[in-house]
């Protein structure tokens, strides 16, 4: 039997989806950092997390998603500021004083208390391109949670509010479990916070 | 509901069904500490261009495919299994994926026995030697024509059957990208097999709560989607429902006693080399007609599963058995446009019928007599026009 007739196959990569997921995780991380400063509801939600708490969002398997090439050229104190997307991970840290900070995508030297792990790049794509809401995606097994489940729910609630701020209703309606009524979130608050979060997320943080 | 004095039920397989189910394979393999599977694929599945889609789903996964052995056509033989086992060893694989149903799954199970037990052939196991322990992880991606043995604890290679609880696949992947059938005929054959199995489970006097629970949705899916799936083989919703029905019926049937239609179809398939699904389509209406004539007692579950809760609730309790049989007859009758309806139409030699009746009666454990089997076959011989 000629085994060379059946060659070994090393599957390729989905670069476009990788890049999209990387960007989205960066935007979400930066937006959460800003929203925790400018919005009372997000701040109150994230206050439920213990201090000195690190949250990680990533896509499995970790080895398949190294840092972007330019992230490897920079020292870690620069990448940890998170001014650019550096990889397919997101670290969010709540420090001793209770401040929420996006601390980049490099797992080196960071110990996560809560990990939200997408089972594949396709699963991350489905969630982050808003084809499936967070709740539906969890039901479909698109991601697993390592850590305290109530903390992950706190994170999801904060994330839902941020998504409502950042995205138009037609898109965020797909991403969140229930879109808030006008009485729960006024148009003024929504649009003002949208502007502030976008500006600060891409500038001073 | 009837409570059996004793029953056993084994269903080892995990079923992952739905959108992006294929993308879960690397994670499932990871759970078994495996990352280099050998893929055993049906030639017909590869020819339909599903290989490319399948490989693409492993992107960014760190899983390396040890090779795609795509020599499986309609028949699983030991020489093919030996070739695939050589490939498995040469590439240092640690798991097996069967891409396709029927012979691909039989062959994958055979290869799994060869490589896990470190043997060259299955003769020792055919003679009664037990499989010593758990085999390598086996994942089945359903596609193509089913033979009803996929979820079972058995394999058939060179027309010889080997049974062991270790032969159950570990994971079933039912993905809408893979399930659409190539033609209505192939869907109808798979559907007829699943129908015969689900019917056998739900009409068996030894039915237990677990087999009933698994066969019930299989029958419901068949009642709702079989006609649609045969008419539109590419319909994703129908194909996923029918693939689920096949797996469920197969799992329930492997824990149940074989029905008359299954036994007779199996014997005729072995004698003629034609797929059992075609014979099941022909024989099942005759079996149902015989049951209707005999006013045989069966559980209400059949009618509940086939007609749904509304039809069930609207029917007086005393009529449910008969209505269940009538609805089943209608479901099988829906396949008459794509599959032959009589044995004479298939040009089966008559001397096979006697042998089949005798062998089926012997295998039934005294549940059916040879005369009953022969009578059903005689009716199936010229059933054309009699089936609804």
Q: How far apart are CA A205 and CA A192, in angstroms?
A: 16
Residue B359's pLDDT is what? 94
Whether A51 shows a pLDDT value over 90: the answer reads yes
Whether B385 shows a pLDDT value over 50: the answer reads no
The predicted model gives B112-130 an average pLDDT of 92
Secondary structure E strands in B51-115: 67-72, 95-99
User: Strand, coil or helix: what is A26?
Assistant: helix
In angstroms, the separation between the Cα of residue B61 and the nearest Cα of chain A is 6
H or E element at residue A24:
helix A15-38
Per the prediction, chain B carries an average pLDDT of 92
Q: How far apart are CA B5 and CA B313, in angstroms?
A: 29
B55 Cβ contact partners less than 8 Å away, ≥ 6 residues apart = A9, A11, B65, B68
* DSSP-assigned letters across all residues of B214-264: HHHHHHHHHHHHHHHHHH-TT-HHHHHHHHHHHHHHHHHHTTSPPPHHHHH
Q: How far apart are CA A53 and CA A60, in angstroms?
A: 22
> Sorting pLDDT into bands at 50, 70 and 90, what band is A70?
confident
Given a contact cutoff of 8 angstroms between Cβ atoms, the answer to whether B26 and B173 are in contact is no
Q: What are phi and psi of B38, to 5 degrees?
A: -95, 130
Q: Is residue A43 part of a domain?
A: yes
Q: What single DSSP character describes residue A62?
A: G
- Rounded to 5°, the CA angle B300-B301-B306 comes to 110
Which two tokens mark B171? 């994971």
Instruction: Look at A120 and B69 and tell me if their CB atoms are within 8 Å.
Output: no
Torsion B225-B226-B230-B234 (CA) sign: positive
Whose structure tokens read 């904060």? Answer: A158
Answer whether the bond into residue B138 is a cis peptide, omega within 30°. Answer: no
Whose structure tokens read 């996929």? Answer: B150
Whether A24 shows a pLDDT value over 50: the answer reads yes
* DSSP-assigned letters across all residues of B266-289: HHHHHHH-S-HHHHHHHHHHHHHH
Q: Is residue A5 part of a domain?
A: no
Q: What angle, 0 to 180 degrees and rounded to 10, lies between the N-to-C axes of helices A149-166 and A15-38?
A: 90
Q: Is residue A3 part of a domain?
A: no
Give chain B positions within 8 Å (CB) of A121.
59-60
Whether B384 shows a pLDDT value over 50: the answer reads no
Whether B386 shows a pLDDT value over 70: the answer reads no
Residue B387's pLDDT is what? 46
Residue B374's pLDDT is what? 94
Q: How far apart are CA B252 and CA B214, in angstroms?
A: 6
Q: What single DSSP character describes residue A179?
A: P
Q: Is residue A1 part of a domain?
A: no
B6-21 tens-digit pLDDT:
999 999 999 999 999 9
Which domain, by its residues, includes A95?
A: 12-201
Q: Is residue A136 part of a domain?
A: yes
Residue B155's pLDDT is what? 94
A29 Cβ contact partners less than 8 Å away, ≥ 6 residues apart = A57, A82, A90, A91, A92, A102
Whose structure tokens read 């008559």? Answer: B350
In angstroms, the separation between the Cα of residue B293 and the nearest Cα of chain A is 47
Mutate to test the interface with B, among A2, A3, A137 (most CBs of B within 10 A): A3
Give chain B positions within 8 Å (CB) of A64.
60-62
B265-278 tens-digit pLDDT:
999 998 998 989 99
B210-236 tens-digit pLDDT:
999 999 999 999 999 999 999 999 999
Residues 111-130 of A with CB under 8 A from B: 119-123, 126
Q: How far apart are CA A68 and CA B133, in angstroms?
A: 45
- Beta pairing partners, B40: B69, B98
Residue B1's pLDDT is what? 67
Structural domains in chain B plus CATH codes: 14-174 (3.40.50.1970), 189-381 (1.20.1090.10)
Q: How far apart are CA A203 and CA A197, in angstroms?
A: 10
Whether B383 shows a pLDDT value over 90: the answer reads no
Q: Is A109 touching B (CB cutoff 8 A)?
A: no
Q: How far apart are CA B284 and CA B171, in angstroms?
A: 30
Instruction: Look at B19 and A18 and tell me if their CB atoms are within 8 Å.
Output: no
Q: Is residue A171 part of a domain?
A: yes
Q: Is residue A66 part of a domain?
A: yes
Q: Is residue A2 part of a domain?
A: no
A57 Cβ contact partners less than 8 Å away, ≥ 6 residues apart = A25, A28, A29, A89, A90, A92, A115, A116, A117, A118
> Sorting pLDDT into bands at 50, 70 and 90, what band is A153?
very high
Radius of gyration (C-alpha) of chain B in whole angstroms = 20
CA B307 to chain centre: 22
Instruction: Look at B60 and A18 and tell me if their CB atoms are within 8 Å.
Output: yes
Secondary structure E strands in chain B: 14-17, 37-42, 67-72, 95-99, 138-141, 154-157, 160-163, 171-174
Q: How far is CA B222 from CA B20, B181, B230, B238, B327, in A?
A: 23, 15, 11, 9, 11
Residues 41-100 of B with CB under 8 A from A: 55-70, 83, 86-87, 90-91
Whether B285 shows a pLDDT value over 60: the answer reads yes
Instruction: Look at B56 and A11 and tell me if their CB atoms are within 8 Å.
Output: yes
> Sorting pLDDT into bands at 50, 70 and 90, what band is B366?
confident
H or E element at residue A19:
helix A15-38
Q: Is B7 touching A (CB cutoff 8 A)?
A: no
Which two tokens mark A191? 């649009």
User: pTM of whole model > 0.95?
Assistant: no
Whether B116 shows a pLDDT value over 80: the answer reads yes
Q: How far apart are CA A109 and CA B327, in angstroms?
A: 65
B337-365 tens-digit pLDDT:
899 989 998 888 888 999 999 999 999 98
Give chain B positions within 8 Å (CB) of A142.
20
Given a contact cutoff of 8 angstroms between Cβ atoms, the answer to whether B31 and B63 are in contact is no
* DSSP-assigned letters across all residues of A41-59: HHHHHHTTSPSSEEEEEEE
Whose structure tokens read 């030996």? Answer: B82
Q: What are phi and psi of B255, to 5 degrees?
A: -105, 10
Q: How far apart are CA B321 and CA B298, in angstroms?
A: 6
Whose structure tokens read 């991970």? Answer: A89
Give chain B positions within 8 Å (CB) of A119.
23-24, 27
Which two tokens mark B22? 């294929």
Give chain B positions within 8 Å (CB) of A127.
none
Q: Strand A53-59 relative to strand A89-94: parallel, antiparallel, unpaired?
A: antiparallel
Q: How far apart are CA A183 and CA A6, in angstroms?
A: 63
Q: What single DSSP character describes residue A96?
A: T
Q: What single DSSP character describes residue B131?
A: P
B78-104 tens-digit pLDDT:
999 999 999 999 999 999 999 999 999
Q: How many domains does chain A fold into?
A: 1
């Amino acid at each position: 039997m000629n085994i060379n007739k059946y060659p070994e196959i090393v599957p390729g990569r989905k670069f476009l989806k990788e890049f999209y997921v990387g960007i989205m995780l960066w935007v979400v991380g930066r937006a959460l950092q800003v929203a925790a400063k400018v919005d009372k509801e997000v701040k109150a939600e994230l206050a439920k997390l213990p201090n000195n708490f690190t949250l990680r969002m990533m896509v499995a398997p970790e080895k398949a998603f190294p840092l972007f090439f330019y992230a490897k050229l920079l020292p870690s104190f620069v990448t940890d500021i998170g001014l650019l997307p550096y990889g397919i991970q997101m670290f969010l840290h709540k420090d001793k004083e209770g401040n929420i900070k996006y601390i980049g995508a490099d797992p080196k030297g960071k110990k996560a208390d809560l990990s939200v792990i997408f089972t594949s790049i396709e699963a991350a794509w489905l969630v982050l391109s808003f084809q499936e809401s967070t709740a539906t995606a969890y039901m479909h097994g698109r991601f697993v949670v390592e850590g305290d489940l109530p903390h992950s729910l706190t994170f999801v609630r904060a994330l839902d509010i941020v998504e409502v701020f950042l995205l138009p209703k037609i898109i965020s309606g797909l991403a969140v479990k229930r879109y808030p009524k006008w009485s729960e979130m006024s148009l003024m608050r929504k649009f003002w916070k949208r502007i502030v979060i976008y500006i600060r997320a891409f500038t001073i943080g | 509901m009837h409570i059996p004095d004793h029953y056993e039920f084994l269903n080892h397989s995990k079923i992952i069904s739905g959108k992006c189910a294929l993308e879960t394979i690397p994670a499932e393999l990871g759970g078994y500490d495996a990352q280099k599977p050998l893929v055993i694929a049906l030639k017909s599945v590869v020819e339909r261009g599903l290989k490319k889609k399948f490989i693409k789903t492993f992107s960014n996964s760190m899983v390396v495919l040890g090779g795609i052995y795509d020599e499986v056509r309609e028949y699983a033989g030991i020489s093919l299994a030996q070739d695939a086992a050589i490939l498995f060893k040469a590439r240092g694989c640690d798991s097996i994926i069967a891409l396709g149903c029927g012979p691909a799954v039989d062959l994958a199970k055979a290869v799994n026995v060869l490589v896990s037990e470190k043997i060259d052939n299955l003769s020792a196991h055919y003679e009664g030697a037990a499989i010593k322990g758990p085999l390598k992880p086996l994942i089945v991606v359903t596609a193509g024509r089913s033979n009803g043995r996929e979820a079972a604890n058995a394999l058939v290679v060179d027309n010889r059957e080997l049974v062991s609880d270790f032969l159950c696949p570990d994971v079933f992947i039912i993905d809408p990208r893979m399930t659409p059938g190539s033609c209505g005929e192939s869907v109808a054959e798979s559907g007829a097999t699943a129908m015969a199995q689900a019917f056998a489970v739900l009409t068996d006097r030894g039915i237990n709560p677990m087999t009933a629970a698994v066969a019930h949705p299989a029958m419901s899916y068949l009642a709702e989607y079989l006609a649609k799936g045969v008419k539109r083989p590419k319909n994703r919703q129908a194909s996923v429902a029918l693939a689920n029905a096949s797996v469920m019926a197969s799992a329930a049937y492997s824990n149940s006693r074989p029905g008359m239609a299954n036994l007779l179809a199996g014997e005729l398939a072995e004698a003629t080399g034609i797929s059992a699904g075609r014979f099941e389509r022909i024989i099942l209406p005759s079996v149902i007609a015989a049951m209707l004539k005999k006013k045989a007692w069966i559980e209400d579950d059949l009618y509940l599963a086939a007609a749904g809760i509304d039809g069930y609730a609207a029917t007086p309790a005393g009529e449910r058995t008969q209505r269940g049989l009538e609805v089943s007859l209608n479901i099988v009758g829906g396949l008459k446009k794509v599959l032959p309806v009589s044995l004479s139409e298939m040009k089966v030699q008559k001397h096979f019928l006697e042998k089949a009746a005798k062998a089926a009666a012997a295998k039934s454990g005294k549940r059916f007599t040879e005369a009953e089997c022969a009578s059903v076959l005689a009716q199936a011989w010229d059933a054309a026009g009699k089936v609804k």
